[in-house]
Amino acid sequence: MKTPEEWMRDFEAKIAQAQAKAAAVQEGLAQAGGSASSKDGAVTVTVAPNGALTGLELTADAMRKSPGQLSGEILEIARKAQRGAAVKVAETFGAVEGEGSETYRLITEYLPPPEEEEQPQASGYAFNEEYEERPVPPPPPVRRPAPRPSVDEDEDFGDSSIYKNR
């Protein structure tokens, strides 16, 4: 049986170990943000360790792209940056808890899948290409409903009144 002093030493050692792990996790998470850029460097996205967007840089070349092309590129780059941040978070927990730990397994279970490399288009058709913007037609005129025929409220309930004495 342990003496109170031995129990206290063991307890203090466990606390010191937990504090060291917490400091390592905190330091790792502080550096776990992600950043990614488009191939031409026109779009750069930066995210926090939790994947939240913290920065978006667009060059003049980016502004020459169609709205559909630019928004698609921003989303693609953001996904890459978020995956990079998620991998860094997983690596942080793997280094502290070990890759066999339940915490590491839980975190890696929800990692976004890696982006597939773009395959060259074999046919003359491609998705997400520039599209011709069409003007939006004006909304149809507001049609008001026909007025309802007026109904005398007394006819709805008959001739008797609740205020008359019986």
How does pLDDT run across 64-91, given as a tens digit for each residue? 999 999 999 999 999 999 988 888 888 8
CA distances to 143, 144, 150, 151 from 147, rounded to whole Å, are 12, 9, 9, 12
> According to the model, what pLDDT value does residue 8 have?
92
30 against 40, higher pLDDT: 40
Helix%, strand%, coil% for the chain, nearest 5:
45, 10, 45
Domains (range + CATH), the chain: 4-115 (3.30.1310.10)
Number of neighbours of residue 86 by Cβ within 10 angstroms: 21
What is the per-residue pLDDT for 158?
Answer: 58
Task: Please write the tens of the pLDDT for every residue from 134-165.
Answer: 566 676 666 666 666 665 555 555 566 666 66
Determine the pLDDT at residue 133: 55
**pLDDT tens figures, 5-21:** 999 999 999 999 889 88
Residue 166 three-state SS? coil
